[in-house]
Amino acid sequence: MPAYLDHASTTPPHPAARAALLAALDEGWADPARLYREGRRARMLLDAARETVAGVLGARADEVSFCASGTVAAHLAVLGTAAARRRAGDLVLVSAVEHSSVLHAAERHERAGGRTHTVGVDGYGRVDPAGFTPPPGTALVSLQHANHEVGTVQPLAAVTEVAHAAGVPVHTDAAMTVGQLPVDVGELGVDLLTASGHKFGGPPGVGILVVRSGTRWANPMPADERESGRAPGFPNLPAIVAAAAALHARAGELAAERERLGALTARLRARLPELVDDVELLGDPDPAGRLPHLVAFSCLYVAGEALLGELDRAGIAVSSGSSCTSDTLTPSHVLVAMGALSHGNIRVSFGRGSTEADLSALLDVVPGAVTAIRERAGAVGL
């Protein structure tokens, strides 16, 4: 039975988003910067979407900007804060397990003459807040809310406390948590937050950038008047409206979905070691310390690419951090930083449409697939 179990990569559009997208294509096609009737109508839709997103995230509407993607939002957050705080310092602190968008922004900062320091993680992929104590000359701390490959939730509030004690602002990449866990910028204490619309049931092409008022931030890109000067270009208004509708709907479903998907991941974590020899479950075993919808594991002596292939033939879609599945043939930097086995790696992530039947389909296929791959490689009884 086919099963789409890669919702952490992207998830199908929420029904509320589909409806909003179609309506906004009809009603919100005009330029929201124009003052005639059609423009005003578009502006109202954009403002309402901004209010909705701000409300769900606990921010003020004027703190929320929309850009082209979660990746662009992370680039703008990191580089914009580093640019604005150049006089305070040139050091950016990031964790070793950040999404590539944050790491690539940090690399760009370095190439421009700045410094980056990478904070290591424990075996669950979690940072120690003390590691984020900012040395003098720190411009920014950037720490994900939860990890995208193994689901570990980071001690963000504690890190924020440590950073703020030194007067250093904090950015969080919340692409994995917005729409999955309650996310409130005030409670987290962060100064900047970024997220991605398609991760929670919106269409692709919507990044969310929250810059709390009072945060020093300067657009690192060429000047543009759109989105209060924070994100360039004509906004993808229908997609923004749809993403806001998806986020609003997710907020209403969140408590029930957390419980429902949490039960699926708990069962997967319990069953895998019973069904498969030499499988290592990754991330925090405590449900309070991990995302409710994601399980990552590695199978000893198994090529991740072969396992993806076997699962794909059975109609099951998952992702992998193993080197043989990456374009560059390098293992996932997250798995390496954790000291986890990087081969035979699989990430399973459930979503709104996922059912018990999807989990059963996965559990029906994985044990036989792992055994067959190990037999082909002559890796039995090792």
Partner 1 sequence: MSDARGGGTADVVIDALGRRCPLPIIDLARRIGDVPVGGTIELLADDPAAAADVAAWCRLRGQELLGSAGHAHLVRRLA
- Amino acid identity, position 263: A
Interstrand relation of 91-95 and 138-142 (parallel, antiparallel or unpaired): parallel
Our CB check for partner 1 shows the closer of 162 and 307 to be 307
Catalytic residue among 324, 336, 363, 372: 324
Scan residues 67-126 and list those touching partner 1 (CB under 8 A). none
Our CB check for partner 1 shows the closer of 186 and 339 to be 339
Our CB check for partner 1 shows the closer of 122 and 187 to be 122
Minimum CB separation of residue 327 from partner 1 in Å reads 12
Judged by CB under 8 A, which of 19, 23, 25, 336 binds partner 1? 336
Minimum CB separation of residue 63 from partner 1 in Å reads 40
Scan residues 173-202 and list those touching partner 1 (CB under 8 A). none
List the x/- string, 299-328, binding to partner 1 by CB under 8 A: -xxxx------------------xxx----
Our CB check for partner 1 shows the closer of 136 and 378 to be 378
> Of the candidates 61, 57, 77, which has an alpha carbon nearest to the alpha carbon of residue 69?
77
**Sequence-ordered list of residues with C-beta below 8 angstroms from that of 290, at least 6 positions apart, any chain:** 146, 150, 151, 152, 153, 283, 284
Judged by CB under 8 A, which of 100, 228, 330, 355 binds partner 1? 330
324 carries an active-site annotation: yes
Span of 17-25, 163-171, 285-293, 340-348 interacting with partner 1 by CB under 8 A: 340-348
> Of the candidates 349, 309, 343, 348, which has an alpha carbon nearest to the alpha carbon of residue 329?
343
Where do we find the tokens 């055994």? Answer: 371
The CA–CA distances, whole Å, from 50 to 45, 114, 299 equal: 9, 33, 44
Span of 142-150, 151-159, 200-208, 334-342 interacting with partner 1 by CB under 8 A: 334-342
Structure-block tokens of residue 139: 């411009």
Q: Residue 170, interface with partner 1 (CB under 8 A)?
A: no
Judged by CB under 8 A, which of 185, 344, 354, 358 binds partner 1? 344
Our CB check for partner 1 shows the closer of 27 and 305 to be 305
Strand ranges of the sheet holding 294-299, from the earlier edge strand across to the other edge: 279-282, 294-299, 345-349
Query: Length of the chain, please?
Result: 382
Catalytic residue set: 324
Interface residues with partner 1 (CB under 8 A)?
A: 278, 280, 298, 300-303, 322-324, 329-331, 335-336, 339-344, 377-379, 382
